[in-house]
Chains A and B, each alone.
Chain A
Amino acid sequence: MRTHEDRIFYYDASNGQTYSYSDLFKSLNMTSYEYENIYSNDIYRFFNRLLKSIILNKPQILIDNDSTLDPVNNDSGKNVHISSFDHFKEMLENSKSEIGLFTSGTTKKPSLIIHTVDKFINNARIGSKYSNNIWGFSYNPTHMAGMQVFFQAILNGNQIVDIYKKSKHHIIESLLKSEVTHLSGTPTFFRLLVPMSEKFTAVSKVTLGGEPTSNNLINILKSIFPNAKFNNIFASTEAGTIFASSDDTFNINDKIEPYIKIVNNELIIHKSILGKSDKIKTDWYKTGDIVEVICDNPKKVKFISRKKEVINVGGEKVNPNEVESIINSHPKVSFSKVFGKKNSVTGFLVVCQIKKIKNSKLSENDIREYLFNKGLEHYKIPRLINFIDQIETTKTGKIKR
């Protein structure tokens, strides 16, 4: 039986890079360099630098390539001495370090939120039943979702298979070759993968998060991952994971209820469960997430949209996620992005970009008629439709608005 140290820690199918846990410990033990403000061009190196600061109880800030912060490194002369996987795990669990994450900036300027390492440790599920998990890592490692997967994987000595920003071909190869068991990503990540003829029978858990997801997408994924349980996560950089469910609704359980308020359909969270940040000024923090209360007992909500995403068409409010969901249900549509176009008559007008399924014929009229027949109100039907090849996504794998 393989010891923990011999197991693979990191694997990248696009270049064959493979590192075991003992490789990781060796490289950590060898260097006396310390790094501040780390970014993720080379993910294995990024993990190395992050782990070093965690073990040395130093704070760390995770940045993206376009950050105004500069990466810093210096030869501090401080070395770590990891003797075994258990020793390594213990050092992580005892770490007093803090990690600074920038919000994804989907609808506003990114701000820095600081979380203690033990918050990530406490959120992870550790135990022998998790020891054989193999993770498909699609998230940006410098943001919340990536960090959560990272800690979950490393505390259990799991393998991380790098599929971040890889081509569809490499992702498929990785999933098959490594027999990935756990796959996490944004709904946009998954939508860009489908349609797919391959089936991945080794995947036992699929987790979606970061954007509203539709049951339609979950159903498509169920046929691609026939043995998987589905998990839909409602999380934010400020709070970490708040709720999880197996479909597009979320239960607010007793544990979390005291910290949650819903005012004017906006989700409001008490600061005691949030990370530290300059922008969290009051006791109750407005998340800017609009939800619909489906049920009061037990309390169940559905995530509708980000407040700022709402398109105001002459006073009528349009949720772009809702319109996208219906457009995406058209068999010839691969992907869509709905947004508002400014004008002096109605304020905004609903317009969209659509990526067709390869080699299919689809016209603007086809889409409009389809939406009309689905009962979509006239002011929600996009007035301008652009067929395009690529849709822009953000650093955290969400649709760029």
Chain B
Amino acid sequence: MNEKKNEIFDLIKMVIDKKNNSSLNQKIEFNADADIRDNYGLDSLDLAELTVVIEDRYGIDIFETGIVSTINEISEKLKE
């Protein structure tokens, strides 16, 4: 279970890195309970990208039935 949360975190890091062109050496901390938008500064486009890469990887659209806000919630959605 923890492995999946780490994978999700990696995907979030990838989205942020791409956004900043890896030029910002931001230290991003793993926090499974924090709101990913507030905590990681993700805007709607970032979220859209995240859902697309998650859907491509796991075959599940995490936002299909409503907004998920934390890594924990995303991980729960992927279990279903």
CB 8 Å contact bits of A338-377 with B (1 = contact, 0 = none):
0001011110010100000000000011001100000000
Contact with A along B34-63 (1 / 0, CB 8 A): 000000000011011101110100000101
The listed residue with most A CB atoms (<10 A of its CB), out of B21, B45, B47, is: B45
Inter-subunit contact B18/A349 (CB<8 Å): no
For chain B, the count of residues having a C-beta within 8 Å of the partner chain is 15
| A385, B49: Cα distance in complex, Å | 12
Instruction: Name the CB-closest residue of A to B49.
Output: A383
Distance to closest chain A CB from B60 (angstroms): 11
Q: Are B21 and A344 in contact (CB under 8 A)?
A: no
Tell me the bound Cα distance from A398 to B46 in angstroms. 31
Residue A192 at the B interface, CB < 8 A?
A: no
- Per the bound structure, the CA–CA distance linking A160 and B24 in Å amounts to 59
Q: Which of B21, B22, B52, B63 contacts A341 (CB 8 A)?
A: B52
Residues of B within 8 A of A349 (CB): 45, 48-49, 52
Given known A-B contacts A343-B63, A344-B61, A344-B63, A314 and B44 have beta carbons under 8 A apart = yes
- In the complex, how many angstroms separate the beta carbon of A89 from the nearest chain B beta carbon? 58
- Asked if A384 is at the interface (CB within 8 A of a chain B CB), the reply is yes
Q: How far is the CB of A367 from chain B (nearest CB, A)?
A: 11
Question: Does B51 lie within 8 Å of A344, measured CB to CB?
Answer: yes
Chain B residues near A313: list those with CB within 8 A.
45, 48
* Nearest Cβ on chain A to B10's Cβ, whole angstroms: 16
Q: How far is the CB of B71 from chain A (nearest CB, A)?
A: 17
CA distance A6 to B44 in the complex (A): 68
Q: CB of A387 within 8 A of chain B?
A: no
Cβ < 8 Å to A, chain B residues 1-30? 18, 21-22
Number of A positions contacting B (CB below 8 A) = 17
The answer for the CA separation of A351 and B47 in the assembled complex, in Å, is 14
Whole-angstrom CA separation of A317 from B76 in the bound complex: 33
The reply on B80 being an interface residue by CB < 8 A is no
A315's closest neighbor in chain B, by CB?
B44
Question: Chain A residues near B52 (CB, 8 Å)?
Answer: 341, 343, 349, 351, 383-384
Question: Hey, which chain B residues are within 8 Å of A384, CB to CB?
Answer: 49, 52-53
Q: Quick check: is A378 within 8 A (CB to CB) of the other chain?
A: yes
- On whether the beta carbons of A345 and B22 are closer than 8 Å, the reply is no
Q: Which residue of A lies closest to B64 (CB)?
A: A344
Contact (Cβ within 8 A) A368 B21:
yes
In the assembled complex, A33 has its CB within 8 A of some CB on chain B = no
Give Cα A345 to B21, complex, Å: 23
Contact at A346–B48, with CB atoms within 8 Å?
A: yes
Contact B44 A346 (CB under 8 A): yes
Say if the beta carbon of A379 comes within 8 Å of chain B: yes
Contact present for A343 and B61 (CB under 8 Å): yes
Inter-chain CA distance A384–B45, complex, in Å, is 12
Q: Is the CB of B18 within 8 A of A368?
A: yes
A365 to B64, CA, bound (A): 30
- Determine the chain A residues whose CB is within 8 A of the CB of B22 once the complex forms: 365
Closest to A378 in B: B45
Chain A residues whose CB sits within 8 angstroms of the CB of B61 once the complex forms: 343-344
**Residue of A with least CB distance to B50:** A345
Give the residues in chain A near B18, CB-CB below 8 Å.
Answer: 364-365, 368, 383
Give the distance in Å from the alpha carbon of A44 to the alpha carbon of B21 in the complex.
54
Docked CA distance A379–B48 (Å): 11
Query: In the complex, how many angstroms separate the beta carbon of B14 from the nearest chain A beta carbon?
Result: 11
Q: Taking the nearest CB of chain B, how far is it from the CB of A102, in angstroms?
A: 34
Q: How many Å lie between the Cα of A346 and that of B43 in the bound state?
A: 11
- Assembled-state Cα–Cα distance A105/B55 (Å): 29
Task: Please name all residues of chain A whose beta carbon is closer than 8 Å to the beta carbon of B55 when the two chains form the complex.
Answer: 343
- Complex: chain A residue closest to B22, CB-CB: A365
Contacts A365-B22, A369-B21, A383-B18 supplied; 18 other A-B pairs, CB < 8 Å: A343-B52, A343-B55, A343-B61, A344-B61, A344-B64, A345-B47, A345-B51, A345-B63, A346-B45, A346-B47, A349-B45, A349-B48, A349-B52, A351-B52, A378-B45, A383-B49, A383-B52, A384-B52
A-B residue pairs, 4 tightest by C-beta? A344-B63, A345-B48, A346-B48, A383-B49
25 CB contacts below 8 A, A to B, read A314-B44, A314-B45, A341-B52, A343-B48, A343-B51, A343-B55, A343-B63, A344-B51, A344-B64, A345-B44, A345-B48, A345-B51, A345-B63, A346-B47, A346-B48, A349-B48, A351-B52, A365-B18, A365-B21, A378-B45, A379-B45, A383-B45, A384-B49, A384-B52, A384-B53
